[in-house]
Amino acid sequence: MQRSGLLIILSSPSGAGKSTLARRLMEWDPVLKFSVSATTRPPRPGEVEGQHYYFRSPDQFREMVENGQMLEHAEVFGNRYGTPRDPVEQAMLAGRDTIFDVDWQGGQQIRASVLGGHVVSIFILPPSLAELERRLISRGQDTPEVIRGRMEKSRAEISHWAEYDYVLVNDDLDATEQALRAILTAERQRRERQTGLGEFVRNLMQEKE
């Protein structure tokens, strides 16, 4: 049965397990792909156009925004980042799902875009703030000052939990992965996403007894 692809917004505070869960989902279903962002910053050694980012000049980026070709965009440390509409729309029309690793602001913009009707938004919560801080410390990647900053940002992120379609508490990674699989499986079967369903039913009704 033909269907339209999903735009899967996956958000969480840093350390809640979002990246691990996204990786597991793509191992479960290799057709799932991360969206590729566009940026005005220059490419770093080893980065490939269209694989890591779409590299655009400031003028090109501004023109894409003005022409409605960005599903979401923001400025970070003097450079602009955003999600080009065309690759996502082509994947959606082909029945392929795209995962977006964006914060609540990016999620709001995508939901408000012309493709917003195809969005499934999921927020991942930690079991507690104490556990979240423990995970950040155990990674050994950040200074205490950076961790304090991440914790402050986490509170701000969590305050937007009610804006999402689904909210999962990641107290068990395997169980959370199974819940994500169940969500995607169910959302893919929604009547309005099955683009070939009308024709199938018409043919079904024309069959002779």
pLDDT per residue over 17-43, tens digit each? Answer: 899 999 999 999 999 999 999 999 999
The pLDDT, as a whole number, for residue 150 is 87
Query: If you average pLDDT over residues 72-82, what whole number do you get?
Result: 92
Share of the chain above pLDDT 90, in %: 86
- Give buried/exposed letters for 15-49 (b at 16+ CB in 10 A, else e): bbbbeebbebbeeeeeebbebbbbbbeeeeeeeee
For residues 71 and 82, give the distance between their C-alpha atoms in angstroms, rounded to a whole number. Answer: 7
Q: Is residue 81 predicted with pLDDT exceeding 90?
A: yes
Mean pLDDT of the chain: 94
The CA-atom distances, in angstroms, between 197 and each of 5, 45, 120, 153, 193 are 15, 47, 20, 44, 9
In the block, which residue shows the tokens 């799932």? 32
The CATH H-level (homologous superfamily) assignment of domain 7-206 is: P-loop containing nucleotide triphosphate hydrolases (3.40.50.300)
136-146, pLDDT tens digit by residue? 899 888 899 98
For residues 97 and 8, give the distance between their C-alpha atoms in angstroms, rounded to a whole number. Answer: 7
Lookup: tokens for 209: 């007894």
pTM: 0.88
Residue 133: Cβ within 10 Å count: 17
Domain ranges of the chain: 7-206
Confidence of residue 73 (pLDDT cuts 50, 70, 90): very high
Report angle CA 132, 138, 139 to the nearest 5 degrees: 95
Share of the chain above pLDDT 70, in %: 100
Confidence of residue 204 (pLDDT cuts 50, 70, 90): very high
Closest-CA residue to 83 (of 9, 31, 21) = 9
For residues 32 and 188, give the distance between their C-alpha atoms in angstroms, rounded to a whole number. Answer: 13
177-203, pLDDT tens digit by residue? 999 999 999 999 999 999 989 999 999
Confidence of residue 209 (pLDDT cuts 50, 70, 90): low
Residue of higher predicted confidence among 135 and 89: 89
Residue of higher predicted confidence among 149 and 6: 6
Q: Is residue 84 predicted with pLDDT exceeding 80?
A: yes
CA torsion, points 119, 32, 12, 9, in degrees to nearest 10? Answer: -10
